[in-house]
Amino acid sequence: MKIFLETFGCQMNEYDSELIRSILRSHQHTFVENLDHAEVALLNTCAIRENAHEKIYHRLDELKGRKRRQKNLVVGVLGCMAQNLRQELAEHAPIVDIVAGPDSYRRLPLLINSVRGTGEKGFDFSLSEYEAYSDIAPQRMPGVNAWIAIMRGCDNFCTFCVVPYTRGRERSREPQNIVAEVHRIAAEGFKQVTLLGQNVNSYRFEQHDFADLMQMAAEVDGIRRVRFTSPHPKDFPRKLLHTMAANPKLCKHIHLPLQAGSDSVLERMNRTYTKQEFLDLVAEIRAIVPEISLTTDVICGFCGETDEDFEETLEVMRRVEFDSAFTFKYSERKHTIAERKFKDDVPDEVKLQRLTRLIDLQREISKQHNAAEIGKIFEVLVEEPSKKNPHEWLGRTDQNKGVVFWDDAVKPGDFVQVRINAAGTNTLRGTVERQGWRRLPVTAVEAECCAI
Ligand code: SAH
Ligand code: SF4
Ligand code: F3S
């Protein structure tokens, strides 16, 4: 069967799509890039905020039109939204033939066959305490970075969050199995690996913790950079900081989700740390790993958030000065604790005003941080042609900052020394430094394409 697979949501979902590709290929299915050529259309979905749902419903509307013309097209909804809405999704979107949650992907070949064979719809939402797909080698697109899920699920139950309900209980994969996967990706030519979990701090397998795992991944020949996402501020392991400081392959970047700055909001969110504990952790991180870059996630307009509460979030952001931040308006999710216990009482226009203030503040900070990099030289891993201008390269520093530059002698996967000579809000811009090699003055055409 020819399958079209589209992925929404986070890196964990990207990784799951690589597993799905592997499972279906081993059953002789093939994948197509163009929906026009597909016999089966699969959407691997996200449920984190309402706009994620809206995107999928919009896509399902498009598929409805297509199915009128192509009667035997099989439509499947997979992933977090499938798990969260289950029967409701099947009832409201009659064009959907298959609904399968994140722990049901081994059954996909069976579900597809039964829809094609008997026309019977197939639903599977069973969540498992053990499923980690450890025996399946993900089918990755070629590139520079490979994702590896080192654990699945989440037991933290932050009150706003749907993930514990869509991905079930937390479970860690065996370290030997993960390291074998790192060896495989190194042999395939990947230079960087990013270890994924909803809360990597709680990774544990027998006597091994997350710091041990990072160290083991870094020891694999061919892998030059090891990254991870995300840790939880409540139980950030100090051992991990010392491991990061001591090993140059472990990238000096931590994505540390703040969510909110006021203690009462943090408590209602069940984040189990206070503003002061967060600030103390940041100070300790910077003392042990001085060159660290910190990024974060922030939610505004959570249930009961007052203007004063919100000011505290801004205050923490001013004090910490993150390098960048993902900022969100609170979006109530079905089945979460917040939906059951609290009132979503901050008006949408207030949420929007707060969001704008968060974005403006972070822009200012990011701009200042980036401007301070001008004149410095960074080792940059070349990733791909820049989206804005395919005649330039996009690469990343160890601290995960995007750098755009032009050079005709490099290719993705190369490491180059780049001197920064301009800075915007989100990216740095520079020129390659080579010993005994001086760049010719830029031509007019080149100067134009280099303008920020
Ligand atoms: N496990 C990760 C979070 C994954 S979700 C972690 O704890 O870091 C990514 C981000 O989405 C969260 O950090 C949070 O900022 C945001 N988010 C989650 N649920 C949300 C909701 N209901 N409304 C708005 N933003 C939400
Ligand atoms: Fe959601 Fe909290 Fe788990 Fe992150 S740690 S996935 S925010 S419940
Ligand atoms: Fe990821 Fe969205 Fe699920 S953020 S874990 S795909 S709800």
DSSP 76-120: EEEHHHHHHHHHHHHHH-TT--EEE-TT-GGGHHHHHHHHHHH--
Q: Alpha carbon 180 to chain centroid distance?
A: 23
Sheet harboring 225-229: ordered strands across? Answer: 145-149, 192-196, 225-229
- The tens digit of pLDDT for each residue in 396-411 reads 999 999 999 999 899 9
Which residue puts its alpha carbon closest to atom 24 of ligand 1? Answer: 330
Please tell me the distance between residue 154's alpha carbon and the centre of ligand 2 in angstroms.
Answer: 6
- The tens digit of pLDDT for each residue in 334-386 reads 999 999 999 999 999 999 999 999 999 999 999 999 999 999 999 999 999 99
- Decide: 258 in ligand 2 pocket, CB within 6 A: no
Q: Is 171 helix (H, G, I), strand (E, B) or coil?
A: strand
- Amino acid 434: pLDDT: 80
pLDDT more than 70, % of the chain = 96
- Amino acid 87: pLDDT: 78
Q: Which residues approach ligand 3 with their CB closer than 6 A? A: 9-10, 12-13, 46-48, 79-80, 162-163, 166-167
What residues does 381 pair with on adjacent strands? Answer: 396, 415
The pLDDT of residue 390 is above 90: no
pTM assigned to the model? 0.94
- Amino acid 441: pLDDT: 44
- Decide: 166 in ligand 2 pocket, CB within 6 A: no
- What class, spelled out in words, does domain 2-124 have in CATH? alpha beta
- Amino acid 94: pLDDT: 85
Residue with tokens 């811009």: 429
Q: Which residues approach ligand 1 with their CB closer than 6 A? A: 48-49, 160-161, 198-199, 230, 232, 257, 259, 297, 299, 328, 330-331, 333
Q: Which two tokens stand for residue 258?
A: 């703040």
Which residue puts its alpha carbon closest to atom 3 of ligand 1? Answer: 198
Q: What are the phi and psi torsion angles at 130 (to 5°)?
A: -120, -25
- Amino acid 369: pLDDT: 97
Q: Quote helix, strand, coil % in the chain, to nearest 5.
A: 40, 20, 40
Q: Which two tokens stand for residue 436?
A: 């005994």
Domain 145-371 superfamily per CATH: tm_1862 like domain (3.80.30.20)
Please tell me the distance between residue 298's alpha carbon and the centre of ligand 1 in angstroms.
Answer: 8
- The tens digit of pLDDT for each residue in 163-204 reads 999 999 999 999 999 999 999 999 999 999 999 999 999 999
- Amino acid 435: pLDDT: 65
- Decide: 427 in ligand 2 pocket, CB within 6 A: no
The CATH 2.40.50.140 portion of the chain extends over 377-448
Q: What are the phi and psi torsion angles at 92 (to 5°)?
A: -80, -20
- Amino acid 445: pLDDT: 40
Grade residue 443 by pLDDT with cuts at 50, 70 and 90.
Answer: very low
Distance CA 406, CA 432 (A): 8
Which residue puts its alpha carbon closest to atom 1 of ligand 2? Answer: 161
Mean pLDDT of 231-254: 97
The CATH 3.40.50.12160 portion of the chain extends over 2-124
Please tell me the distance between residue 73's alpha carbon and the centre of ligand 1 in angstroms.
Answer: 34
The pLDDT of residue 92 is above 80: no
For residue 147, the number of C-alpha atoms closer than 13 Å in the C-beta half-sphere is: 20
Q: Which residue has the higher pLDDT, 277 or 452?
A: 277
What residues does 7 pair with on adjacent strands? Answer: 44
Which residue puts its alpha carbon closest to atom 11 of ligand 1? Answer: 48
* DSSP, residue by residue, 337-396: HHHHHS---S-HHHHHHHHHHHHHHHHHHHHHHHHTTTT-EEEEEEEEE-SS-TTSEEEE
Mean pLDDT of 81-96: 84
- The tens digit of pLDDT for each residue in 268-279 reads 999 999 999 999
Residue with tokens 């520093």: 397
Distance CA 280, CA 445 (A): 50
Mean pLDDT of 408-415: 94
- Amino acid 439: pLDDT: 47
The pLDDT of residue 285 is above 60: yes
Distance CA 215, CA 437 (A): 36
Please tell me the distance between residue 9's alpha carbon and the centre of ligand 3 in angstroms.
Answer: 5
Domain 377-448 superfamily per CATH: Nucleic acid-binding proteins (2.40.50.140)
- Amino acid 449: pLDDT: 39
Residue 77 · residue 99 · CB < 8 Å: yes
Return the ligand 3 atom nearest residue 80 CA.
3
Mean pLDDT of 71-77: 94
The CATH 3.80.30.20 portion of the chain extends over 145-371
